[in-house]
Amino acid sequence: MGNKSSINDKLEYSRVAIYNAHDDEIIRARFAPFGFDENRHLANKQLFQESNDLILKNEQENAEWKLASEAFNETLGSSRKKLRRIRQSLKFWYDADTPEAVEMGLYNSKISKYADFKKIAQNFYSVLLSKEEVLAKLVPFGYTAESILADSEEVNSLDQLRNKREQESGDAQYATKERNAKLDELDECVSEMVRLARLIFRDDESQYLEKLGITSRS
């Protein structure tokens, strides 16, 4: 299916055709010999409503996926920035070959991938929080044990946020498939009505085509 605008246009086109085929007495009477009884008209209206409901559901699922993605991306960006700054501060005190730097992985720069970043960050904060003498070196830069612990907990929350994003992505994809299948069913239903209407209403009866939302052919 296309974008939101085209989907809404198709939905409105379907609504006009389905509801006017039932609600207009003349159209309903002319459709009747072709199997369009009351039950079929009501089933078509139900199909339209189900399609509309699934469109709304799909929009909601996509909105939830977007929020989950933004939450993960913002937290990851924040964690990366905080880790970079605190590492820069510690590099003032510790060269690459010092035991503290090695244990904390202070100069490990392979953190482009998420998995690498999480592993390095968790090890860094775990070691750092266990070393009071290293924590003391950060006080002049405005850090406290509490603020560093909060940074560590932010890193630890990333997996949960990432899993939430993946779950919402899966839900959104399923909702899109569900919506598209129902819209295909609706399109088939309306296409049949349009074909029939073009055969029934000709020449001076083109106003009934217009009432069904069908452009009459010259």
- Model pLDDT for residues 6-38, shown as the tens digit of each residue: 999 999 999 999 999 999 999 999 999 999 999
Range of the domain at 43: 4-211
Would 217 be classed as within a structural domain? no
Would 19 be classed as within a structural domain? yes
CA 208 to each of CA 36, 138, 149, 193, 204: distance values in angstroms, whole numbers, following the listed order = 16, 80, 72, 12, 9
Q: Quick one: 16 exposed, middle or buried, by C-beta within 10 A (0-12, 13-18, 19+)? A: middle
From CA 44, how far away is CA 72, in angstroms rounded?
Answer: 42
Would 115 be classed as within a structural domain? yes
pTM of the full structure = 0.83
From CA 18, how far away is CA 44, in angstroms rounded?
Answer: 6
- Model pLDDT for residues 145-197, shown as the tens digit of each residue: 999 999 999 999 999 999 999 999 999 999 999 999 999 999 999 999 999 99
If one counts the domains in the chain, the total is: 1
